[in-house]
Structure formats: structure tokens, C-alpha cells
Amino acid sequence: MLLSIFFIFSFLFSSSNALDFCVADLSAPQGPAGYSCKKPEAVTTDDFVFSGLGAAGNTSNLIKAAVTPAFSAQVPGVNGLGISIARLDLAVGGVVPMHTHPGGSEILVVIQGSICAGFISSANKVYFKSLKKGDIMVFPQGLLHFQINAGKTQALAFASFSSPSPGLQILDFALFGNNLPSDIIEETTFLDDAQVKKLKGVLGGTG
């Protein structure tokens, strides 16, 4: 009896040596598996807390939308845990254009307003719906998806991710917001020259 109690206690104490977390050391570069760990003695409560999601992001931009992330860079404590969250503000007429998160799946919950959201599978099947307050929608990892303010008021949602660094690539900016030559874009998209030049003008691309 005493011996088994001893073993239980020695197990409890030995397991306290387990790595509970790997708070990001933001001074070192990020690798595919995330950031390396801060020294345990340097970790503070604030590494697990972020107060930046209480206020609306600035939606005075082309897409009338703002995404405020709480990823490893903002909350070093999520590093290595496979989770993160972001705030999405959509002004009237706002849109998060077709985009992907290469590193994680997303689950969106609408807090205010109404959002038309959808994704396209790799079989090119479309799944979309108009979401209202309290609705959630799931966007599987890597798939193209979008969110549009479908109402006449400001919309607010929170998106959580199955990665502390889900990444974000917006299709239109990838195609028209850089110096990829117009003739290559035309050949690879079947769009005509006028359309490509127009979109490059809107999205800040050159060439």
C-alpha cells in the first residue's frame, strides 16, 4: 500500500517535468514547426494574454474589412498548441476576398450582423451560406474561401484556427498585387489584357 502511494507520488512529481508549453521566442526566426521556446524562467502570464481583440479594426481600406490576428506573434503562448484566433470586422459592403490559410482550418462565429461566407473544395464544389448572429461555419485547411458583409450594418465575427500561424494568402493580391508580368497572368488565367491591367491598377500591381 505504502509502496503504491510512493509510486503514484513519484509519477506525479516526475510528470511535472513535462513540457507544458512552448511560448514563442519571437527574437529567433520561425521555422515550419513554429517558433523555438522561450526559456521557462522568462515566461510570464502576459505571454498567454492579448488585449487586442476588444476594438474594431480599421476598415477604411479597399476591401472595407479588417482582420486583427491573435497568432504567435501577438500571443506567444499559442506557439506549439495548434490554436489561434482573429477578429474580423466588415463595414457595410466589406469583403474578405477569396483567400486561403495554408497552415490551418478555420471556424468562424458571427457575433453581429450578417455574413455571406463560403468555400470551394478541391473538386471545385461550392459551399456557401448567409450566416446570422450566433451561426458558425467551418473552412477546411488550405481551401479558397471568402466572407462578405451581407447586411446593412457593420458585421463582427471571430475566427479561430487549428494553427498558431495559419497564414493568409489573398488570391486577387497574389495575382494582381505584385510584379508578375501581365502576359503571364493572361496566359495562366485566360483573362484579357484590359481586365488584368485594370485589376493591377486597383490592387497595386505593376508590369
Ligand X SMILES: *[C@@H]1O[C@H](CO)[C@@H](O)[C@H](O)[C@H]1NC(C)=O
Rule CB under 6 A: which residues touch ligand X?
Answer: 58, 60
CB closer to ligand X, 61 vs 121:
61
CB of 139 to ligand X, least distance (A): 27
CB of 101 to ligand X, least distance (A): 24
CB closer to ligand X, 59 vs 195:
59
CB closer to ligand X, 55 vs 184:
55
145 is in an annotated binding site: yes
CB of 64 to ligand X, least distance (A): 11
CB of 66 to ligand X, least distance (A): 9
CB of 129 to ligand X, least distance (A): 30
| Number of neighbouring beta carbons within 10 Å of residue 67 | 16
DSSP the chain: -HHHHHHHHHHHHHHTTS-----B-TTSPPBTTBPPBPPGGG--GGGG---TTSS-----STTSEEEEEESTTT-GGGTTTT-EEEEEEE-TT-EEEEEE-TT--EEEEEEES-EEEEEE-TT--EEEEEE-TT-EEEE-TT-EEEEEE-SSS-EEEEEEESSSS---EEHHHHHHSS---HHHHHHHH---HHHHHHHHHHHT---
* Residue of closest CB approach to ligand X: 58
41 is in an annotated binding site: no
187 is in an annotated binding site: no
CB closer to ligand X, 16 vs 60:
60
106 is in an annotated binding site: yes
CB closer to ligand X, 33 vs 202:
202
Binding-site entries for Mn(2+):
99, 101, 106, 145
